A and B are shown apart, each in its own frame.
Chain A
Amino acid sequence: MIALIAVATAAFLLTRAVAASTRQTNLRDAAAWYTQGEQQLHAGDLDGAIAAFRRASVKNPEEREYVLALARALAAKRLDDEARRALLLLRESAPEDAEINLQLARLAADRQDVTEALRYYHNALYSPWSSDQADMRRRVRLELARFLIAHDQTSRAVSELLVSSVDTPETAAAHVELARLFSQAGDTRHAADQFASALRLEPDNGEALAGAGGTAFRLGDYTLARRYLRRAPADTNITSLREVADLVASADPLASRLAAAERQRRLLAAFRYARQRLDACVVARAQPDADAAALQREAAAFARKLRPPAIRESETIDAGAELAFRISRAAAQRCAPPTSMDRALDLIAKMHGADAR
């Protein structure tokens, strides 16, 4: 019996040595397959890369990089199920691995599984990241925010963006990127703040100027919008916004601190424009329109009041502006698309609460 135990011990040591040698061979083979897979991936041979990464992960299943490379290649080949299974098996041994969770989140996002994608994105974000991966973690959060915006979960997206804004690097590009996401999520105020931050760093940044102008416009600060938009590189959208912003600033008869003559001039101009627009519209439509006819009659009756001394009275100014807004809106509804002046009058009406009347 003692001899047998001695034999068993010797056999154990021998077997362990042989197994260790085989293991070393397998590790070397796995590394060679992985390198080959990387080369094939760079050469665009996705099938070859998958085969090589698969062999690498079979030879050394404990090396997460091999399995991750396989999963990425499988996902690129749209073999999502197999990629997911490989990642889930890998995750069993490392449930808090950020990269594994991120890959799983991306696969879930690709198949529009919002619940699973959110779970894995959050797992990835709350995983331990090394200090040199801070930017990577921020990028993952922005990726999550984009995913949430795409799935109309804007309040969740804003939450993620607010967290992200804390560690945004001090570069104009980073602030502009964040501002755009805030803007897409419908948080114009924070978007404006981020554009402003970008402009503090790069005052002539065209994207930041256009974005800041747009957000100021949406927030109703047309004077600020004009200032930004005038400096922004011109394109169709910027030109249109700038025109409307200019009109809002120059055509508002109800603006504060206006001289009486200027207020009367603006009212007359707005009223004249609205009447002409409605008349032209009615003619162009060539169809009986009782509401438009009633508005035309009301405008004709009111036009008689737009002379001294009645035009000097604030009630006349208010009533005239309100009628001009209504006529302009009616014309814009009947003869779309609205002109820049239509839009400007509509915005002026909203600014003064006239649209509620």
Chain B
Amino acid sequence: MTARPLRAWQIRLRENQLFLALTMVIGILAGLTAVLFTVAIEQTSRRLFGLAPSSFRLLLVPPLMSIVTGVLLAKVFPDVRGSGVPQTEAAYQLSGGVIPGHVPFGKFLTGVLCIGSGHSMGREGPSVQIGAGLASVIGRWLRLSPQRVRDLVPVGAAGALAAAFNTPVSAVVFALEEIIGDMNAALLGSTVVASVAAVIVERSILGNAPLFRVPTYHLVHPAELAAYAALGVIGGVVSLAFCEGLLALRALFSRLPAPTKMLQPALGGLIIGGLLLVTPAVMGVGYEYVDQALNGGLLLKTMVLLCALKIVATTISYASGNAGGIFAPSLYIGAMAGGAVGTIVHRFAPFPTGDTGAYALVGMGTLFAGIIRAPMTSVFMIFEITQDYQILVPLMVANMLSFAISRRYQPTPVYHALLHQDGVYLPSSSSPQQPPPVSVGTTAC
């Protein structure tokens, strides 16, 4: 080996090592922001609603706070509405990973206010955008090459998601499957490093307590697989209903006159306030009720009602332009749908069946596969939550059916369809017509 190639090889090696170290730091920072985001939502909610919220607060907090966020989202941070996952995908695939510096800050602020004020939205999508935005800003601040800046986006996203949901493996799979769109991506190592670093940070701060108390899973009778298949079909139909409802309502809001854009979140907030009066169980992230469904603590009619109301609440919160994701609501809806199916099976099946909690658990993965259209992530996620191999077969049966039904009747995944509504078309997105790519700076999903 001559001197010049050796030196080039050494420089490349050093660059790779530096990049790996940087991914670790970004993982830590993304994890910290995700934890801070979670804690800030909790504190905001506690301060706005108190220990036991009165009807007055339930009705008025969402619209009043949405007036503030409406102004912020219309005037200051117009590109941080909605989930954050489609924007991150668009930034990665269309803008070379460039996410403006105000985006992570704006997403943090508006996300905390929207979710903390009771809007039925999730914290994972915003965490992904905050983590990815932070990574992009750091990459540009360190004057990395455009390719390296782009590569840092899924790294930050994986770190943030790992910390937000306490599932490091599925965070990596999600980054590959959803953000990059390639399970064989060369960034596997970096995302793993970031994800692990983020989870270590998250657990060192919040402890090792699991997100959900998960029941022990047993496939009691082989015929139960048919019941899980039925759950997959129902999950597919519910996923379709959710996605179509969300897209239709969002299209409706977007057709309203432009000057109303600032007030649309408040209108959504008013409706959410009314829903919270009916049942506060659809408020915010709602993992407390997912936990109850997983542990058989909800009646059949309650689960059916919460499933329907959560769909309504989430579509209103999201379509009216608030900042928050659909990751957690899809799990919530899935847990309720699965729990309801499990209760019916438990009651009427002519063969012995497992606990309703097991169906709620599979239902979570099923709706995630149907709505988010990330079937591998959903399988890994539920597997990570349960740490039980036995659940894999029924989970895959239900997930694949839900995914197939959802894809058959709504070919464009919801994140891509949301981008399409804003005139953004990703190279990988399936669509009959693909107008020229639009800069991510204009997206507001």
Contacts and interface: CB of A to CB of B under 8 A. Distances in A.
Contacts of B288: 55, 58
Given A11-B29, A85-B295, A85-B296, A1 B22 contact: yes
B296 A82 contact: yes
Contact of A82 (B32, B209, B297): B297
Contacts of A140: none
B29 A7 contact: yes
Interface stretch (A16-24, A94-102, A166-174): A16-24
A86 B296 CA distance: 10
B39 interface: yes
A interface, size bucket:
20 to 34
A230 to B, nearest CB: 59
Contacts of A85: 213, 215, 295-296, 355, 357
A54 B297 contact: yes
Interface string A76-98: 00010110011011000000000
A171 to B, nearest CB: 43
B51 A32 contact: yes
Contacts of A62: 209
Contact of B39 (A5, A18, A88): A18
A162 B444 CA distance: 76
B51 A86 contact: no
Contacts of B209: 61-62
A25 interface: yes
Given A5-B25, A81-B355, A15 B32 contact: yes
B205 A16 contact: yes
A12 interface: yes
B35 interface: yes
Contact of B32 (A8, A25, A33): A8
Nearest to B197: A8
Contacts, number: 77
A260 B216 CA distance: 80
Interface centre among A8, A32, A61 (most CB of B within 10 A): A8
Nearest to B201: A12
B291 A58 contact: yes
Contact of B25 (A8, A18, A29, A61): A8
A32 B46 CA distance: 14
Interface string A44-62: 0000000000110010011
Interface string B32-43: 110110011011
Nearest to A26: B42
Q: By DSSP majority rule, is chain A's interface helix, strand, loop, or mixed?
A: helix
A4 B22 CA distance: 9
A15 B36 contact: yes
B213 A89 contact: yes
Interface string A236-273: 00000000000000000000000000000000000000
Interface in A208-245: none
Interface in B1-31: 18, 21-22, 25, 28-29
B412 interface: no
B292 interface: yes
A1 B201 CA distance: 19
A310 interface: no
A25 B47 CA distance: 10
A89 B297 CA distance: 14
Interface centre among A11, A15, A18 (most CB of B within 10 A): A15
Nearest to A74: B297
A71 B288 CA distance: 17
A89 B43 CA distance: 27
Contacts of A18: 36, 39-40, 43
A293 interface: no
B29 A14 contact: no
Contacts of A21: 43
B138 interface: yes
A29 B297 contact: no
A81 B32 contact: no
B148 to A, nearest CB: 14
A61 B292 CA distance: 13
A19 B206 contact: yes
A205 B352 CA distance: 54
B297 A8 contact: no
A79 B355 CA distance: 14
A265 B258 CA distance: 121
Contacts of A1: 18, 21-22, 25, 142
A15 B295 contact: no
Interface centre among A5, A12, A21, A61 (most CB of B within 10 A): A12
B213 A61 contact: yes
Interface in B206-231: 206, 209, 213, 215-216
Instruction: Give the top 7 A-B pairs by smallest Cβ distance, nearest first.
Output: A11-B32, A82-B296, A22-B39, A85-B295, A15-B36, A89-B213, A15-B32
26 contacts: A1-B18, A4-B22, A4-B29, A5-B25, A8-B29, A11-B33, A15-B39, A16-B205, A18-B36, A18-B39, A18-B43, A19-B205, A21-B43, A22-B39, A22-B42, A22-B43, A32-B51, A55-B288, A61-B213, A81-B296, A82-B296, A82-B297, A85-B215, A85-B295, A86-B295, A89-B213
Given A8-B25, A14-B36, A58-B291, 6 more contacts: A8-B32, A11-B29, A25-B46, A26-B42, A82-B295, A86-B295
